[in-house]
Amino acid sequence: MADLKQDLAQSAREVRETHISWVFLHDDTVFKVKKPVNFGFLDFSALDQRRVACENEARLNARLAPGVYLGVVPVTRRTDGMHEIAGSGPTVDWAVKMRRLDDSDRADVRLAEGRLSHEHLQRLARTLARFHRALPSKAEIGEFGRVECIRSNVQENFAQAHPLLSELVSESQQREVELAQLGFLEQRRALFEQRIQGGRIRDGHGDLRLEHVYIDAEGEPTIIDCIEFNERFRFADVCADVAFLSMDLAFQGRVDLKEQFLAAYAEESEDHDLYGLVDFYESYRAYVRAKIGALGLHSAPLPAREQLESQVRRHFLLALASERSPDSAPRVFALAGLIASGKSTLARALADQIAAPRISSDRTRKALRGVSATTPLSDGAFDANYSDAASDAVYSELLRRAAVVLESGRSVVLDASFRSSAARDAARDLARRHHAPFLLIECQAPLDVCRTRLAERARGPSESDGRSQIFEQFAAQYEPIRGLPRGEHLLVDTGGSLDSALATLRLHGIF
């Protein structure tokens, strides 16, 4: 196989190498050849196994990288012994043919150069949410979300990595990670069962790292290199997919972008329950990266070995840190106000500023009805979908989701009208139960400004069903906000610009 690598490298612009593949880069195309290796969790030792893996790679990656994977081609050998791609000689191996993507579009390159924005990650989160939503959720796939299956993966990691890591980290640290991950699985068994029942176990990507994400000049994401060699690494909770990317952002020192990405995905997928187990999956993913790095240590050239050892240690320490309690206390922000007062706009901006999830009553209502966030529910004011009973159900679900976020040690932004004192009291009680500071931000805008905004809203799709026909009745029934302690109630003028409203929050030390 060394001859194969040397021969194919002669015509390539560049050769890149992973622990399982050689990648030969040409001007416009890329050819990827599997190494004949057997690591236990993958086996490419036989030619037919490599061919099947190549076919699976091309097929599966077409889901998130349409037009990039161009098929599988033979590696042939000439009569003089020279290897070439798709020659006339006998087939001696197989290669995946790909369209070459611009390295400058790669997410890790963008991040290093300061060109990976919150907007890019929001768009990526939307893409992933759509991808996961469209994936099959069959019973046989759901089985891979069971504690027994996940524990098997976790224990395999430990068995394979423990001896490799023994020279880089202490025995007590290894034991701490192992006890924490296995302990979480046993203690939160019911949570994993809920994820199965909720259809959150899907045939996903399995290796969602920054270097596998490309974002073009228009901000459109393309995602390559999913796991093709082992279904049990790809059949998993959707949270395990997003946790790989969020872990990678944390590894690069951008916890702010990590939390913004998680918040965007949770909102787009209506899956705030992922906060109950994302820290576990981030620890699991970090440990996997430590293992993969350790596997390559002995084959790495000496100059690169020291850097690789450092990366292995950092990934291991990240696995350790993800299992520990956060340093800062979570907070609860409830944004209240009339229809079209600007509360949702301010809630989004506040959530972005503090890198916290926003939970919207409008989106929650639509999710409970099983429709998309912009599908109108066109009942009359406070009828059916907006009756007191329906609203009680929405607020109950809103606060249930918020409790999951708070239990993970994160702050939360609640976006609802909070038109009744009972709804406000319930939000305040939630904060008290979680020992979290509470602040109700009352958004006030002149009535004529609200009416103008409603007229503009009627021209296009919107998450909110608030409209001019119900505005007067809604305003008449809105209970004035009274009785909150001074430090738990902040009045903000939202009749003007967003910048002005944010300046008020900044002046009060909210961020």
Integer CA distances (angstroms), 279 to 132, 184, 266, 283, in order: 20, 10, 14, 6
76: confidence class by pLDDT, cuts 50, 70, 90: very high
Name which residue leads in pLDDT, 374 or 316.
316
pLDDT score, position 326:
65
- Please report the pLDDT score of residue 138 as a whole number: 86
Tell me what pLDDT residue 383 has. Answer: 55
Amino acid at position 58, single letter: A
3-class DSSP assignment, residue 280: helix
Q: Is residue 468 helix, strand or coil? A: helix
Question: Would the pTM count as exceeding 0.85?
Answer: yes
What is the per-residue pLDDT across 13-70, written as a single tens digit (0 to 9) for each?
999 988 899 999 999 999 999 999 998 888 999 999 999 999 999 999 999 999 999 9
Domains of the chain by range and CATH?
Answer: 2-100 (3.30.200), 105-321 (3.90.1200.10), 332-507 (3.40.50.300)
- Which amino acid does the sequence have at 326? P
List 24's β-bridge partners, or say none. 15, 31
Over residues 215-224, mean pLDDT: 97
- Least confident among 194-203, 282-291, 325-334: 325-334
Looking at the chain, the whole-number percentage of residues with pLDDT higher than 70 is 97
Whether residue 303 is predicted with pLDDT greater than 80 in this model: the reply is no
Examine the pLDDT at 300 and tell me if it is beyond 90. Answer: no
Which residue from 107, 72, 96, 53 is spatially nearest to 223, judged by alpha carbons?
107
The answer on pLDDT for 378 being more than 70 is no
pLDDT of residue 360: 97
Is the pLDDT at 292 greater than 70? The verdict is yes
pLDDT at 382: 47
pLDDT of residue 182: 97
What pLDDT shows up at residue 385?
65
Query: Contact at 8 Å (CB) between 387 and 376?
Result: no
> First CA to last CA across the chain, in angstroms?
57
Q: pLDDT, tens digit, for every residue of 94-146?
A: 999 999 999 999 999 999 999 999 999 999 999 999 999 998 778 999 999 99
Interval 277-287 mean pLDDT: 97
Geometric angle at alpha carbon 343, from 220 and 431, rounded to 5°: 100
Helix (H) or strand (E) holding 469: helix 468-477
Q: Answer yes or no: is pLDDT of 80 > 60.
A: yes
Going by their DSSP bridges, the two strands 21-25 and 14-17 should be labelled as antiparallel
Whether the CB-CB separation of 119 and 164 falls below 8 Å is answered with no
Give the pLDDT band of residue 270 (cuts 50, 70, 90).
very high
Residue 380 pLDDT > 60, yes or no?
no
- Please report the pLDDT score of residue 384 as a whole number: 61
pLDDT of residue 176: 95
Question: How high is the pLDDT of residue 327?
Answer: 57
Asked if residue 298 has pLDDT above 80, the reply is no
pLDDT tens-digit series, residues 470-511:
888 889 889 999 989 989 999 999 999 999 999 999 999 999
Residue 287 — very low, low, confident or very high, per pLDDT cuts 50/70/90?
very high
How does pLDDT run across 384-431, given as a tens digit for each residue? 666 778 889 999 999 999 999 999 999 999 999 999 999 999 999 999
357: its two tokens: 């999830």
Average pLDDT value for the chain = 93
> What's the pLDDT score for residue 427?
98
* Cβ pair 503, 439 in contact under 8 A: no
Within a 10 A sphere around the Cβ of 41, how many other Cβ atoms?
16
Indicate the residue type of 125.
A
Is residue 379 predicted with pLDDT exceeding 90? Answer: no
Enumerate residues 6+ apart whose C-beta is below 8 A from 233: 41, 153, 206, 207, 227
